[in-house]
Structure 1
Amino acid sequence: MFSAIKSSHQGVDVLINNAGLALPEPLLTGRTSSWRTMIDVNVIALSVCTREAYQSMKERNVDDGHIINVNGMSGHRVVHSADVHFYCSTKYAVTALTEGLRQELRDAKSHIRATCISPGLVETEFVYRLYRENPEKAAATYGDKKCLQAGDVASAVVYALSSPPHVQIGDVQMRAVEQMS
């Protein structure tokens, strides 16, 4: 992917890591293969894309780039649902990776910024995929409350990208007014 970007667009100036996968695999009974899949998507792929984007910026002397990790409130709290405890651990890793990236960029004397956008429940296909075996549970997750929309998250990304070059937006935590946790 990064080779194609280099060929078509010279490289990456902004990276938005927005992959996330949750599988209903409790800690006490979950399948190791599903846990590995969540680690591969939510942690390893994010880290690989971050490394490649940074290398692209570095080789072209881009010192005002931006790396944004779309995380989630699950990277800051653990909900009372065994189905997502392992998933939450991968999102806590994203929180740590974003702060670690910020520190490494600072130590490298780079002005590339690292931001974590952490939305709560967003009305997307995410919950329906998590509970594809139980569509009623997915529908109940959204219930009758007004959830965040994809556009709300996009607005947070635009906010981070449009901040002045000397401003580091570390983490934007956002949730719907009616969301419980």
Structure 2
Amino acid sequence: MELEKIALITGSTSGIGRATAELFAKNGIHLILCGRREDRLEEVKNELQKNVNVITLKFDVSNRKEVFSAIDNLPEEWKSIDILVNNAGNAHGLATFQDASLDDFDSMINSNVRGILNVSKAVVPFLINRKSGHIVNLSSIAGKQTYPKGSVYCASKHAVEAISQGMRMDLLPYGIKVTNIAPGAVETEFSLVRFKGDKKLADAVYQGFEPLVAGDIADAIYYAVSRPAHVQIADMTIFPKAQASGTLFEKNNKI
């Protein structure tokens, strides 16, 4: 079996990752769905395999052994990966540096930085071997602007920005495109995770304005990967209309 185009998406069971998987499937891109929650992976697989071929890989992106074992053991026909979407990542807590938890620091560095490094190092040899491919890294406005009570989350996303730039330089001779996408306020499970399941706090983040939704970012990702071969979208920053910077919003109006 030879598959026409294959995308590997991390964090594909919810939010931006799932929306991207759904959009890719509508456009005939076969999918390697990656995540930590096996039941959710199967749910998404069952939904999307009506349109394309889908396989799932269960691993935590921060666990190097799990990542390499899963990706190295892909069936040969699935190793011809065309698109890697490094979407998995989280924010943990919103506190001043002096009050924040070291465990939260570790979680963010592990998922947001080590996760991209682990998955990319496992997949890039396939792309280099074929001298083609496209890597999309999900950063954040936090990767461009540091804000109060977010020092380490912002640092982790600044790292994503640097990794994206460095990848683009290093992989240039192999015909591999690298796109960095930096969303502003997107209403997903992001704030629920940041506030450790406190739905009231999570919902308050998006009150008074219309935030982006996961599908908005999926549209941007698909736009980047569907450009002609000679076009590389290097960097995209995407805000809802009511946002002008990492911390500046026009609230109490649906604009």
TM-score normalised by structure 1 residue count? 0.89
2:113 equivalent among 32, 39, 43: 43
Q: 1:92 aligns with which of 158, 167, 183?
A: 158
Q: 1:151 aligns with which of 212, 215, 239?
A: 215
Contact 1:147 1:176 in 2 (8 A): yes
Identity of aligned residues (%): 32
- 1:14 aligns with 83
Partner SS, residue 66 of structure 1: strand
User: How many residues end up aligned between the 2 structures?
Assistant: 175
- Who is 2:203 aligned against? 139
State the match for 1:73 in structure 2.
141
Shift of residue 7 of structure 1? 4.4
Partners of 1:121 and 1:6 lie apart in 2 by: 38
Q: Secondary structure at the match of 1:69?
A: strand
1:113 is matched with 177
Give the counterpart of 2:102 among 32, 40, 43: 32
**1:20 is paired with a residue of what secondary structure?**
coil
Shift of 1:100: 0.5
> How far 1:167 moved relative to its partner?
1.7
* Distance in 1 of aligned mates of 2:206 and 2:151: 19
* Bigger helix fraction: 1
Summarize deviations over 1:122-177 as a string: whole Å, max 9, x none. Answer: 11011011113643322211012111111110110111101122222111100100
**Cα pair 1:5 1:12 within 8 Å, conserved:** no
The yes-or-no answer on 1:2 pairing with 2:2 is no
The equivalent of 1:63 in structure 2 is: 131
Distance 1:29 1:54, change over 3 A: same
- 8 Å CA contact 1:65–1:111 kept in 2: the answer is yes
Deviates more, 1:130-139 or 1:46-55: 130-139
2:167 aligned counterpart, secondary structure: helix
1:70-99 CA distance string (max 9 Å, x none): 11111111223x1x2210110000000000
Unaligned residue ranges in structure 2 (runs of 5+)? 1-69, 246-255
* The one of 23, 36, 49 aligned to 2:92: 23
Q: In structure 1, what residue type is equivalent to 2:123?
A: A
Q: Which amino acid aligns with 1:36?
A: D
Aligned counterparts of 2:226 and 2:197: Cα–Cα separation in 1: 41
Contact 2:183 2:217 in 1 (8 A): yes
Show the counterpart of 1:52.
Answer: 122
Q: Secondary structure at the match of 1:5?
A: coil
AA aligned opposite 1:44: R
CA contact (8 A) 1:63 1:110 kept: yes
